[in-house]
Amino acid sequence: MKDRKGIMAILSGFSGVGKGTIVGELVERYGYMISISATTRAPRDGEKEGVNYFFKTMEEFEQMIEREELIEYARYVDNYYGTPKEYVLEQLEEGRDVLLEIEMQGALKIKERFPEVALIFIVPPNVSDLKKRLIKRGTENEEMIRTRIARSKEECQYLTQYDYIVVNDDLEECIEEIHGILEAVHDTRENQRGHIEKIKEEFETFHI
């Protein structure tokens, strides 16, 4: 069997559910690689180019689409968000596990192209908690918060397409649960690969 292959996993979740913190901890503790997205949204206070996002103008983003530099892209509220292709494919090739923190439309597009991707959705313990977190974050005005919560409500209809739903009630438990899922996915994929390669080899030498 060839060397370890990387897995691609998508972490989605309602706006304000704490995805950023969770992904940051997973990277810090377990060395997952993280895909940095391109977006036309303006940077929030403290956000850095090439760390949080690659911040693009509408024109630059559309050029990336034309040049087919994105694995997927989606419009979320009033902006474009997309995943640069080259970095993700390179990491997988190198045998590293890559996390994509992206919204649902993009996640489902990736699932069509890469059926082996693991889709994880993070939910809050309850909806009022979500609103409280968005208010506390202080990065969106009231109107924007309402739009984001309305969007979350719409997203509920697609939740069944995710492989795993994890509740972010206790942050620590949530991080460990996701890491556990990713390890299990990894083992399952390795196991499948082993069986598939073995049976293919047998067929190669089998006289029908």
Query: Which positions lie near ligand 5GP, rule CB under 6 A?
Result: 15, 37, 41, 72, 74, 76, 81-83, 101-103, 105-106
Cα gap 165→163, rounded to integer Å: 7
Q: For residue 207, how far is the Cα from the chain centroid?
A: 45
Q: Which is nearer to ligand 5GP, 52 or 189 (CB)?
A: 52
Nearer to ligand 5GP, 164 or 189 (CB): 164
The distance of closest approach from Cβ of residue 103 to ligand 5GP in the complex, given in angstroms and rounded to an integer, is 4
C-alpha to C-alpha distance for 176 and 165, rounded to whole angstroms: 14
CB of 97 to ligand 5GP, least distance (A): 18
Q: For Cα atoms 137, 60, 16, give the angle at the middle one, nearest 5 degrees.
A: 15
For the bound state, the minimum distance from the C-beta of residue 176 to ligand 5GP, rounded and expressed in Å, comes to 21
- CB of 155: closest distance to ligand 5GP in angstroms? 9
Question: Based on CB atoms, which residue is closest to ligand 5GP, 6 or 82?
Answer: 82
Is 139 or 192 the residue whose CB approaches ligand 5GP more closely?
139
In angstroms, rounded to a whole number, what is the distance separating the alpha carbons of residues 100 and 14?
A: 15
Written as six digits, the tokens of 90 are 């390179």
Answer left, alpha or beta for residue 182, where phi above 0 means left and psi between -120 and 50 means alpha. Answer: alpha
